[in-house]
Amino acid sequence: MTLTAERTRGPAAGRRGRPGRSRQGRETLLLMLPALIPVLIFSVGPLLYGIYLAFTDARSGRNSVTSFVGLSNFGDLLTDGDFWASFRIGLIWAVSVTVLQFVAALGLALLLNENLRFRAFTRVLAMVPWAMPPVVIGLMWRLVYHPNAGILNSTLQGVGLLDHNVDWLNDFSIALPAVIVVGIWTGMPQTTVVLLAGLQGVPRELHEAGHVDGATTWRRFWSITLPQLRPVIVTITSLDFVWNINQFGLVYVLTQGGPGGQTRLPMLFAYEEAFRYGFFGYAATLGVAIVIVVLAVLGIYIGRQMREVS
């Protein structure tokens, strides 16, 4: 147990008694450099340019002239009721998918980490949603949810859970939960693999120490495994959240934002604004707004998690 307590103070403890700062600085630069080169060439430039657009009235087209408009796009944004309505849907979507996916994936990762039979085989099967080409995923789920030829309705009626066909993707109150299930399904393998790898990074001796203490499985999980896993959990849940906020293609294939706008995700707005209507400037503003909100949410979340660790 002492080892755990000591370890969790890791990052903070690292500050004391390190050799000279300049040496560390040089080392940092050296270690970062290989990754920095492609990032500087291919990512930073386009990204800064994209952010810059948010302050212009850029439109697509050969005849368009762009001028700097300062914060006026942001003013428009504040009164854009459609966007905020969709932002609310986007938050419901991203939070529920992230949370439910995390819980489900943690359960699966724990099972796959147990010494069960067919472990290698089940681990591979758990990767199916990830390995399937995205182009068939939406198609397949549409057939699963098909109101009269779908396997979901026929299976549920077969086991007596339903007595009539449900129109999953077109019912005003069921459509969003139905696409959330698909969201959970699609992202589970990534989360599971990451958590599994994290579980296996938990040094065995910690568990053995727990065994000696005579702690119950649940207690061991709660007081040893979970704290040990915390950095990985924070990492993957924050990334999942970001990806889910960014998602719209899958949902678009399933419902095209319908019924009645119930599943219109905010990124669909940004996409249509730029690629369909050609308002690059305003689309970039939407992007920047989403970035700000997401970073604020993540900042609070990561900050709190990190503070609890130390």
Partner 1 sequence: MRRPLQYLALLGYMVFLAFPLLWLLSTALKTSQEMASLTPTWIPRHPVLTNFADAFTEQDIVGSALRSLVVAVASSVLTVVLALPAAYSMARHRSLVNKIAIGWVLVSQVFPFILIIIPLFMVLRSLDLVNTLPGLTVVHVTFTLPFALWMLQGYVRSVPRELEEAAAVDGAGRIRALVKIVAPLLAPGVVATLLFAFISSWNEFLFALVVLKDPDVATLPLTLVKFTGAEGVVRLGPLAAASLLATIPSLAFFAIIQRRLRSGLLAGAVKG
Partner 2 sequence: MRTRTALVAAATAIAALTAGCSSGDGGDGGKAGEPVSLKFLSLAWQKESVAANKEIVDEWNKANPDIKVEYVQGSWDNVNDQLVTSFEAGDPPDVIHDDSPALAGFASRGYLLDLSGKVPADLKSDIPQAAWDTVTFGDGKGGQGVYGVPFLQESQVIIANKKLLDKAGVSVPTPEDPWTWDEFEEISKKLTKGDTFGVAWPLKSPVNKALNLALNFGGTFFQTDGAKATVKVGPEEREVLQRIHDQLYKDKTADPSALGMGTADPLPGFYAGKYAMLPASVYLRQQVVEQAPSGFEWVTIPPLKGTSADQGAASQTLSVAADSKYPDQATKFISFFLNSTNQAKLAKGDWLLPTSVKAASDPSMTTEENGWNVATASAKNLVVAPYLKVNGFDEWKSKVATPALQQYFANKITLDEAAKTLVDEGNKVLERYNK
* Interaction residues for partner 2, span 81-120 (CB under 8 A): 82
Using the contact rule CB under 8 A, the part of the chain among 7-15, 59-67, 101-109, 154-162 near partner 2 is 59-67
Print the binding letters for residues 276-305 with partner 2: x by CB under 8 A, - otherwise: xxx---------------------------
User: Residue length, the chain?
Assistant: 310
**For residues 231, 185, 300 and 39, what is the CA-based torsion angle, rounded to 10 degrees?**
70
Smallest separation (angstroms) from partner 1 to the CB of 173: 23
Give strand pairing partners of 56: 68
CA 75 centroid distance within chain: 29
Measured from the CB atom, the residue of 11 and 261 that comes closer to partner 2 is 261
Measured from the CB atom, the residue of 69 and 270 that comes closer to partner 1 is 270
177 binds partner 2 (CB under 8 A): no
165 binds partner 2 (CB under 8 A): yes
* From partner 1, partner 2, none, interface partner of 259 (C-beta below 5 to 8 A by class): partner 2
Q: Helix %, strand %, coil % for the chain, to 5?
A: 75, 0, 25
Q: What is the number of other CB atoms lying within 10 angstroms of the CB of residue 268? A: 20
Radius of gyration, CA atoms only, the chain:
24
* From partner 1, partner 2, none, interface partner of 294 (C-beta below 5 to 8 A by class): partner 1
Give strand pairing partners of 94: none
Binding residue for partner 2, selected from 24, 27, 28, 60, defined by CB under 8 A: 60
Phi, psi angle pair for 7, to nearest 5°: -65, -40
Using the contact rule CB under 8 A, the part of the chain among 96-104, 111-119, 275-283, 289-297 near partner 2 is 275-283
* From partner 1, partner 2, none, interface partner of 78 (C-beta below 5 to 8 A by class): none
Q: How far is CA 240 from CA 108, 178, 231, 306, in A?
A: 17, 19, 14, 18
Question: Angle at the Cα of 174 (from 173 to 179), degrees rounded to 5?
Answer: 125
- Interface residues with partner 2 (CB under 8 A) are 37, 40-42, 45-46, 49, 52, 56, 58, 60-68, 82, 142, 146-149, 165, 167, 169-170, 172, 256-261, 272, 275-278
